[in-house]
Structure 1
Amino acid sequence: MPSIHDFETWEPVLRLLRAGNAESLAARGGYVAGRIGHGGWSLPMQRRLPPPGRALQVEDMQDEFAVVQRVLGVLADAGAHAISFTAEISPTGRTVLHLLSPSPAVEPGIGNPHPGSLVLVEDSVPEPWRRLPDPVPGAAPAPSMDLALLERTLRERIPDAVGATEEEIAAAEARLGVPLPDELKVLYRVTRARWEDQRDDHETAERVFQMIGELFPLDELYIADAPSRPCPWRFAAMEAVVTPPDAAVQGLVGSPGWIAFSDNGGGDRIAVDLTPGPRGHTGQIIMLSHEENTGASLIADSLTDLVMNGRSQGRGGRHRDEPPVVARVNIRSLTSVQAAAHAGLEVLSIGVWEGEPLSLASVTGLPRLRTLTAYPGTLADPLEIAKLTGLEFLELGPEEWRVLLDAGAVPRSLSAAAIEVHGNRHPLPIVALANEILALWDRPLITQIILEGHLGPAA
């Protein structure tokens, strides 16, 4: 059986990349790099454009597709998900191939062979994903909740629906570990939402969709808690949970009191909310956007309200005029670190900057600062980071990381880290830097296998 570590496995990929990158490979220090995995691949090559008026199709990239599928097949046989690589190919065809096997402590990079976030503490998640709902004393169901009206209306609109048995409802409650709200029980006693019950009755399915969306069967109900809304560390660390005093819905990633029971047809989940915000109602209906990582919008005060009146336009609380807990300093946003500093600051992101490098002195000692990201070259003194003792995520350029590593000043409070790479940087030095950071926490390293072979002279 071919192995992912056989040079022959990679020859078709390397020949294709050589043909598409001849000039850059011939330059001093020239190389190609990419990543192939079952979730997609990234190869440095120009694709042929389709004829005007036609979308790109498989046959337009058949050569690329064929060589990638060969590698994917070998990966599958090895039980591996993805692999990154770099290769130096001389004009004579002599090739040195570096295979970079992923570490379980490293998240995949986005569209390039560079490492993604380094998870320094096993199973750690950013603070918003650890946040539980705040108690709301006095929260109660909305006046619109009417179990008799809800059942009567559902039976009138979907008279031939097959309802769930009490045993099926009890089984769903046992699986979820929580009792279902009364309105949800009424809904499933009327219809259990199984495809086999509809008998090609598309009209009934459409009426259910117009009222409730794409209703889940009982065995697909789930608790929309924080783990159900996963997000890579690099992006999750930039989020914050904010719930204004007049909010109907808490600005959480997820809640043990959010029971998802439907979908709007576009990937947004509809849930019953048993942990409402300060101005919300117990049992209100919310929608979790698939394009956002935190929060949800209120679409009805109750399931009765949803069925009777349809979805509202995502009502929510008003953000008060307070300093942002996520602050961005760059040429388009805040113009100084001092302008971002306040006691509630959680996330500081320093982006593209055209002025003098910035000092972090004004954010030293802030009690809630947990995330710092800084575009390469924007910090006057990277060693000031050592004074930020509450950081759990840090993203810096390679040179700034080098300063911290050489000084032994990498904050030990970190749970995760990332290396910000811009421009055409060779992946191997970045991988070596990532391994230095991982080694400080005794985490699994990115492993490298070097293969040598010969492709022969170019055609």
Structure 2
Amino acid sequence: MSLTDWQTWEPFVDALRRSAPPGTDVSEFVGTVGRGAWQGTYLDDGDADLRRDHYRKLAREAARTGDRGPKADLDGALRALAELAPDAEQLVRVVAAGRPDDDAVELVALPPAVVSGPVTPILEVVLEPGALPAQYLATIVPPSDAAVAPSADPDAVARVIAERMPDAVGATPDEMAAAEANLPAGSHLPDEVRALYASAGSGNLKLTPEEDRFGGFEIVPLSGSFLREAFLPAARFSTWTADVGTFAPEDPSGRVQSVVGSPLWFPVGTDGAGNVYAADLAPGVNGHVGQILLLDHEMRAGAVYRAESLAALLVGRTASPAQPGPDEVGQGSGDQSSGTSGPVEGAGPVEAGRAPSSDPEALNLDPATWLERLDAGTVPETLKAAGLAPDRAHPPALPDAILVANRLLGLRGLPPIEVTRLTRPADQKRDGLLGRIFGR
């Protein structure tokens, strides 16, 4: 049997009906099965709380008597289904109706333009495939008078490497030339960065541990490390629903330019916990070329100033103690300032990457409101993404979301969501009084 056969699903449909709270007319499961696992939401007459409350009572009774728990039959049926799809997850909606003849299973196939989320299988529709919010497209260049800091000292950087990593092997000139060629046109690696990599192409730079002072980092290789792209705007982007309101914090001292991320923040080291130290090739108006920034994996946008030069970090081990932590900046609030401290390109006429309300890039509306707009022909042509779950506590019903998503996809000629509906075969119908009595 396969997942497209009614007989495959029948044990779960019947278990879903039997496990419903007393008095339930229609029970529903919306979720995924496959790869040996399953997850989803149960609704009984449209309510997600009824079953939870019912199960708590049954679980307490089972614990007292030693009987099987209330989900045993359900989990057994789901386990059998999950084993039939070892290589993929199947999105499904299962309906156990008051009349077994009305039972149904809907296998849902989402096209690439439809994005799932933690609260709903249809979180948003990306109407312009590959598009990013405007603030994720903004680029930076160094101020015309940008210079290295007085503390910059390539020789000091090389001495630290020689002392702490005597067996290190430096990167070759060709490797440094290739890394520099990958930078935006006209950009160059600072002499301190060249000194670092000429002394050690990789390895762990450990400094003497001292309280409140820099203890070293693992050198990020010039090539082959995922950390070289991990903090670029596209890598920091998750979904339109989560990130359309994400803006980089502003450095009040004007040392760091305010963008989501940039290839001009050149990774040189990592603390091993997912955070990166980067040499800044495009500082703010009050910064220095080659200053060291911290790219914190808990920050969704921007960078934090760490030291005015690599030598200052390694030799003087200076830091900026007044810098806010990740809980205070860059957490993606639409209310945050996203002003810049240096020239920003690519934002166009929209200040700080924010689209005017009359020409939105994205909207997050409930299905009923989307239907009103679709019927009235008032879906903005500027729209790049359409969210369908503005209320995370009460996500839309899957059939409503599918209807709206397919109409939105049709506006741009994109492939629709496909639904394969399975029902009880005619020779298994349970019509009649006896079927209604013994159907549960």
The answer, yes or no, to whether TM exceeds 0.5 is yes
Q: Does residue 436 of the first structure (1) align with residue 440 of the second (2)?
A: no
- The 2-side partners of 1:236 and 1:282 are apart by 29
Residue 401 of structure 1, aligned match among 365, 370, 378? 370
Q: Does residue 255 of the first structure (1) align with residue 255 of the second (2)?
A: no
- The 2-side partners of 1:314 and 1:412 are apart by 47
Query: 1:273, CA displacement in angstroms?
Result: 1.1
User: Does the C-alpha gap of structure 1 residues 279 and 368 become closer, same or farther in structure 2, counting only changes over 3 Å?
Assistant: closer
The TM-score normalised by the length of structure 1 is 0.69
Amino acid at match of 2:385: A
| SS of corresponding position for 2:32 | strand
User: Does the C-alpha gap of structure 1 residues 15 and 263 become closer, same or farther in structure 2, counting only changes over 3 Å?
Assistant: farther
Q: Does residue 142 of the first structure (1) align with residue 172 of the second (2)?
A: no
- Does the Cα contact within 8 Å between 1:369 and 1:390 map onto a contact in 2? no
Query: 1:62, CA displacement in angstroms?
Result: 13
Amino acid at match of 1:402: L
Structure 1 gap ranges (5+): 50-59, 195-203, 318-323, 329-343, 345-365, 373-386
- Please list the CA deviations of residues 92-144 of structure 1 after superposition, one character each: whole Å capped at 9, or x if unmatched: 7664111111121111122333x112111122110111111154221111111
Residue 187 of structure 1, aligned match among 196, 217, 222? 196
CA RMSD of aligned residues (A): 4.1
| Partner residue in 1 for 2:82 | 71
Amino acid at match of 1:89: A
Q: 5 Å matches for 1:275-424? A: 275-310=282-317, 312-313=319-320, 326-327=334-335, 388-419=357-388, 420-421=390-391, 422-423=393-394
User: Does the C-alpha gap of structure 1 residues 453 and 251 become closer, same or farther in structure 2, counting only changes over 3 Å?
Assistant: farther
| Partner residue in 2 for 1:121 | 128
| Partner residue in 2 for 1:379 | none
User: Does the C-alpha gap of structure 1 residues 258 and 66 become closer, same or farther in structure 2, counting only changes over 3 Å?
Assistant: farther
| Partner residue in 2 for 1:22 | 20
- The 1-side partners of 2:142 and 2:313 are apart by 25
Amino acid at match of 1:5: T
Residue 280 of structure 2, aligned match among 273, 281, 284? 273
- The 2-side partners of 1:129 and 1:120 are apart by 17
- Please list the CA deviations of residues 354-397 of structure 1 after superposition, one character each: whole Å capped at 9, or x if unmatched: xxxxxxxxxxxx9769879xxxxxxxxxxxxxx94321111112
- The 1-side partners of 2:132 and 2:395 are apart by 30
Structure 2 gap ranges (5+): 43-51, 60-70, 325-331, 340-348, 431-437
User: Does the C-alpha gap of structure 1 residues 185 and 7 become closer, same or farther in structure 2, counting only changes over 3 Å?
Assistant: farther
- The 1-side partners of 2:271 and 2:134 are apart by 29
The TM-score normalised by the length of structure 2 is 0.72
Residue 215 of structure 1, aligned match among 216, 219, 231? 219
Query: 1:182, CA displacement in angstroms?
Result: 2.2
| Partner residue in 2 for 1:105 | 113
Amino acid at match of 2:85: V
| SS of corresponding position for 1:218 | coil
- Comparing both chains, which one has the higher relative contact order based on Cα–Cα distances under 8 Å and sequence gaps of 6 or more? 2
User: Does the C-alpha gap of structure 1 residues 369 and 450 become closer, same or farther in structure 2, counting only changes over 3 Å?
Assistant: farther
- The 2-side partners of 1:62 and 1:258 are apart by 54
- Please list the CA deviations of residues 233-256 of structure 1 after superposition, one character each: whole Å capped at 9, or x if unmatched: 112211235646732111211112
| Partner residue in 1 for 2:253 | 246
Count of residues in correspondence between the two structures: 377
- Does the Cα contact within 8 Å between 2:14 and 2:96 map onto a contact in 1? no
Greater Rg by CA = 2
- Does the Cα contact within 8 Å between 1:158 and 1:208 map onto a contact in 2? no
